[in-house]
Amino acid sequence: MSRIIVIGGSGHIGAYLIPALVEHGHDVVNISRDQSRKYRPHPAWRSVEQVTLDRMAEERSGRFASCVVELRPDIVVDLISFDLPSTQSLVHALRGKVEHFLHCGTIWVYGHNAAIPADEDDPPNPFGEYGINKAAIEAWLLHESRRTGFPATVFRPGHIVGPGWTPIGPCGNVDIEVFSRMARGEEISLPNYGLETLHHVHADDIAQFVMRAIANQSASVGEAFNVVAEKALNLRGYAEAMFRWFGVEPKIRFQPFDEWKTGQTPEQADQAWEHIARSSCMSMEKARRRLGYQPRYTSLAAIQEAVLALIAAGDVQVGPITDAHLSLTMLPGSRPLPPAG
């Protein structure tokens, strides 16, 4: 088995990826700035070597790449590179020293797509600093892989979701209160006609993809892959499905975006615009065809699992109808549903 360094493994993806790597017999090192957070409980964490490094600080001193090399990796999974110089420095240090380098990109390398679902043959057309920077990283990595043989794979997750964090909701932002309103059967408002799209993916399915890419290196090196649930959701369909999942009939009002955003905080409005302006809808067929990737979760199932955890934590408040409706689907070991209000 391989010695695998995961950079940024204390976050959403790492919570599933690192235990999977350990269970498959790999020697795993997690590099993270903050080791104090509680991981998703799993006995595999006891077998993981934890290395505390502040990437930005170490890069300013010119030490980060050499620190990674000193850990003697066979494989590196970089989950937290957000600008090209950071990736370039690491790749130059690792050249000739690793068997495989996997970079976590984003579906936001796509901006506006003329046809959907977008696939990997569609050229990236990002807007906004985050998408532009990520597109520059993956273009350089793939060029290096094809020109010099550096063993790079790029994977582009959708909107990551799972227990322990708030999903991008049917308004295109992380306004957690919208789930409470739907659970209580209250009216919500959606921008425009609710036909813009979101494309989620469960963190466990991203981990599945990485495991498959590592196991099928010859099919993944030099390639980029969209890693998403099988289907995207439009805002209206998402909201209607959640209302009914809570056991109540949908109550939705539609407003032009400029009118709708007046009922949001500036941060919520900006976040919604960032998502609906892109209306992500991606194809995952390349990952299925080349690597056998098959998401365990639909977009809705992933969202609903996360919302159940939010209910159990008391972050989403539900009414008596929803309380009774969901009583048989609570997460194992969770505490009773909190009351409405």
Q: Which amino acid is at 93?
A: A
126 lies in some domain: yes
User: Which structure tokens are listed for 42?
Assistant: 């799993």
> What percent of the chain has pLDDT above 70?
92
Q: What are the φ/ψ torsions at residue 76 (nearest 5 degrees)?
A: -125, 130
274 lies in some domain: no
For 229, counting Cβ atoms within 10 Å of its Cβ (0-12 exposed, 13-18 middle, 19+ buried), the class is buried
As separate numbers, helices (DSSP H) first and strands (DSSP E) second, the chain gives 14, 13
pLDDT above 90 (res 311): yes
More confident residue, 337 or 125: 125
- Could you tell me the pLDDT band of residue 1, with boundaries at 50, 70 and 90? confident
Give which of 169, 231, 162 is closest to 203, Cα–Cα: 162
Give 75's strand partners.
4, 100
- What's the rounded Cα separation, in Å, for the pair 124 and 139? 9
Q: Please tell me the predicted confidence (pLDDT) of residue 17.
A: 98
Answer for the pair 299, 200: CB distance below 8 angstroms, yes or no.
yes
110 lies in some domain: yes
- What's the rounded Cα separation, in Å, for the pair 166 and 160? 10
User: Alpha helices, DSSP H only, in 24-98?
Assistant: 55-60, 64-70, 84-94
pLDDT above 60 (res 234): yes
pLDDT above 50 (res 337): no
157 lies in some domain: yes
- The string of pLDDT tens digits covering residues 48-99 is 999 999 999 999 999 999 999 999 999 999 999 999 999 999 999 999 999 9
For 256, counting Cβ atoms within 10 Å of its Cβ (0-12 exposed, 13-18 middle, 19+ buried), the class is exposed
- The string of pLDDT tens digits covering residues 147-181 is 999 999 999 999 999 999 899 999 999 999 999 99
- What's the rounded Cα separation, in Å, for the pair 87 and 244? 45
- The string of pLDDT tens digits covering residues 91-122 is 999 999 999 999 999 999 999 988 999 999 99
128 lies in some domain: yes
- What's the rounded Cα separation, in Å, for the pair 18 and 26? 9
Q: Please tell me the predicted confidence (pLDDT) of residue 341.
A: 32
Q: Please tell me the predicted confidence (pLDDT) of residue 36.
A: 61
User: Which structure tokens are listed for 221?
Assistant: 């090196």
Q: Please tell me the predicted confidence (pLDDT) of residue 34.
A: 79
Give which of 15, 13, 2, 19 is closest to 79, Cα–Cα: 13
243 lies in some domain: no
177 lies in some domain: no
91 lies in some domain: yes
Q: Please tell me the predicted confidence (pLDDT) of residue 257.
A: 98
Q: Which CATH number do you get for residue 81?
A: 3.40.50.720
- What's the rounded Cα separation, in Å, for the pair 46 and 92? 32
User: Which structure tokens are listed for 86?
Assistant: 């950071």
- Could you tell me the pLDDT band of residue 320, with boundaries at 50, 70 and 90? confident
pLDDT above 50 (res 331): no
pLDDT above 50 (res 328): no
- What's the rounded Cα separation, in Å, for the pair 33 and 307? 28
Q: Please tell me the predicted confidence (pLDDT) of residue 327.
A: 57
Displacement of CA 4 from its chain's centroid (Å):
21
How many separate domains does the chain show?
1
- What's the rounded Cα separation, in Å, for the pair 198 and 275? 7
Range 251-264 average pLDDT: 98
pLDDT above 90 (res 324): no
Which domain, by its residues, includes 104?
3-161+200-227
Q: Please tell me the predicted confidence (pLDDT) of residue 321.
A: 64
What mean pLDDT is reported for the chain? 93
For 341, counting Cβ atoms within 10 Å of its Cβ (0-12 exposed, 13-18 middle, 19+ buried), the class is exposed
